[in-house]
Structure 1
Amino acid sequence: MDQHLGQRLRQQFDQLTPNEQKVAGFILDHFDDIAVYSGADLARLSGVSKATVSRLFRRLGFASFSEVRQHARELRYHGVPLVTDSKALGSGLERFQRHFERERNNLHQMLAAIDAETFDALIEALDRAPEVLVIGYRNGYPPALHLRQQLMQVRPGVRLAPLPGQSLGEELTGVSPGTLAIVMGFRRRAHGFSNLIEQLKGNGLETLLIGDPTLAAAGVSPTWQLECPLDSVSAFDSYTSVMSLINLLSNALLHKRLGEGRARIDAISDAYSGLDELA
């Protein structure tokens, strides 16, 4: 993604005229709301003419303010937390209903996109793999940690990578072919994400990629890919569909190996008691 509006403003701020700097300063102070304002709003609130606002955006590479607003919407698509509609959340009980509807839509889209036969093949791979390596960077790390915690109650040989403060090189060296790598890949992915998927495949690992719809532009081809919409009513992404998918995968694996899974859960509960770890 090219430099976004805020980055361009900061980079060129010292070269702007005093009136252009007024507009730039206002935008930087209210960047989350840029898609809400009109060009006339920016001129009025900054105390400059509409011509000054238009001249500033042309200097930054935008043909019109409508192009700026489209740019802001694209930033939101790529994961930048922007408020693109100041009234999107609603108020009172309405905000709960809007939130519920968006969450329900995300879950429906996620589940409707999963083919039953593909899902069964994935659970079979989760069951037979000698080891499962769960990988998550940035906002993919919390769901990766949760998935590892669920799977390790059902089967042995589940590892998380990278560990805090560490890199992946050591984790991938010596991993045996047949290992199943589960990679969390949500928008604003770390640099080199595509190389990671190719490296895993080159090492003979089966790969499950769990991500959002922006994966379509990532140009990767894992063994399996499951998409989880992250849309919310406002700026911050929702990971409800991701956590629901983790629950579905974990439960399906437990029922696939119910005898071994029950025995392992009992053994873990005994260990909790022996160590007096839980209240």
Structure 2
Amino acid sequence: MNSTSAQSFLARVRESLPSLHPTERKLAEFMLDFPGELASYSASELARLAGVSNATVTRLIKRLNYQKYDEARRQVREEKQTGSPLFLADRATGIEKLFEARAEQGQDNLQRTFARLSEPQVAAITQTLLSARKVWVVGFRSSHAVASYFRWQIFQVKEDIHVVPHAGDTLGEYIASITPQDLVVIFGLRRRPAHLRDIITQTVATGAPVLYITDEALAEHKEVTWHIRCACTAPGPLDNHAAVIALCHLLANCIMETSGASGRDRLTAIEAAHDAFGEM
């Protein structure tokens, strides 16, 4: 088996740079800037975009140890699915077109995501959030910001909600603390760390219900209690998380409305504390 077979597409291109002829290097540098283009275009189209000949494309593909162009394009398509901004980037377009495309895509993402939800599902999640002994919220990379936002919203009426792990901690200490009376909310937006699969497995094993919130590129997870797949499609290198934030907003409002007198009492106490400190 070729030693390069396990390498990523970009790793192959980067390693080849020092030994390339000028025209091949021009094509390789174009590939490094816009690797996702390989997934969408034929060899002739790529040659035209990069300003080189078809023969240059053929030679470079061979130098990268691919048998043919389609083999390289298949690997790029697979790596593009991981959500790397570099693979999703395309050549620049006007600001006006970017604004319009993103606004339209955000609305479409919201509609597609909420169409998958049902009232019984949302009601069950809301009740579990309210009745749980503790709520543990987990998120890595871009998901960490969303996890913190979700916790901040729910904290208005639910005291025992925690984003974990804290700085300097590992998840092991928290997994050992989770009981079947708790709820674990895991945000798994791409690009997900490889160890997230093991975290979900260990979390499910605690017996606690698990709410898993991801982008729609991930297949439905059968082991968790609820898996909500949000549409995060975007016409550019960065995913659009409007639907994820809207989902957090929906759940937070459902909890506030369902919490009744205890929720209002906590909100009243918070406002009194704000007044006492002159915080607002």
Aligned runs of 1:206-217 on 2, under 5 Å?
206-216=209-219
Q: 1:181, 1:205 within 8 Å by CA — same for their partners in 2?
A: yes
1:136-189 deviations in Å (ceiling 9; x for gaps): 111110110000001110112111111234321122222232110000011221
Within 2, Cα distance between the matches of 1:119 and 1:99? Answer: 27
Q: 2:164, 2:171 within 8 Å by CA — same for their partners in 1?
A: yes
Unmatched 5+ residue regions in structure 1?
none
Query: What is the one-letter code of the residue matched to 2:165?
Result: P
Within 2, Cα distance between the matches of 1:275 and 1:60? Answer: 64
Matching residue of 2:242: 240
Please tell me whether residue 173 in structure 1 is matched to residue 176 in structure 2: yes
Matching residue of 2:274: 272
Please tell me whether residue 204 in structure 1 is matched to residue 210 in structure 2: no
Within 2, Cα distance between the matches of 1:127 and 1:80? Answer: 36
Q: 1:36, 1:84 within 8 Å by CA — same for their partners in 2?
A: no
Q: 1:33, 1:86 within 8 Å by CA — same for their partners in 2?
A: no
Q: 1:35, 1:85 within 8 Å by CA — same for their partners in 2?
A: no
| One of 220, 229, 232 as aligned partner of 1:230 | 232
Matching residue of 2:3: none
Query: What is the one-letter code of the residue matched to 2:12?
Result: R
1:102–1:44 CA distance, 2 compared to 1 (3 A): closer
Please tell me whether residue 110 in structure 1 is matched to residue 113 in structure 2: yes
Within 2, Cα distance between the matches of 1:56 and 1:246? Answer: 47
1:48-76 deviations in Å (ceiling 9; x for gaps): 54212112224435555466556545444
Matching residue of 2:253: 251
Q: 2:34, 2:91 within 8 Å by CA — same for their partners in 1?
A: no
1:29–1:107 CA distance, 2 compared to 1 (3 A): closer
Aligned runs of 1:140-179 on 2, under 5 Å?
140-179=143-182
Query: What is the one-letter code of the residue matched to 1:256?
Result: T
Aligned partner of residue 178 in structure 1, secondary structure: coil
1:45–1:98 CA distance, 2 compared to 1 (3 A): closer
Matching residue of 1:80: 84
Q: CA deviation at 1:41?
A: 6.2
Unmatched 5+ residue regions in structure 2?
1-5
Within 2, Cα distance between the matches of 1:48 and 1:77? Answer: 27
Percentage of matched positions with identical amino acids: 32
Please tell me whether residue 138 in structure 1 is matched to residue 108 in structure 2: no
Matching residue of 1:60: 64
Query: What is the one-letter code of the residue matched to 1:227?
Result: R
Matching residue of 1:9: 13
Aligned partner of residue 32 in structure 2, secondary structure: helix
Aligned partner of residue 214 in structure 1, secondary structure: coil
1:29–1:84 CA distance, 2 compared to 1 (3 A): closer
Aligned partner of residue 156 in structure 1, secondary structure: coil
Aligned partner of residue 218 in structure 2, secondary structure: helix
Q: 1:34, 1:84 within 8 Å by CA — same for their partners in 2?
A: no
TM-score by length of structure 2 reads: 0.85
Q: 2:36, 2:90 within 8 Å by CA — same for their partners in 1?
A: no
Q: Which runs of 4+ in 1 moved over 6 A?
A: 44-47
Give the paired residue count.
Answer: 274
Within 1, Cα distance between the matches of 2:180 and 2:12? Answer: 46
CA RMSD of aligned residues (A): 2.8
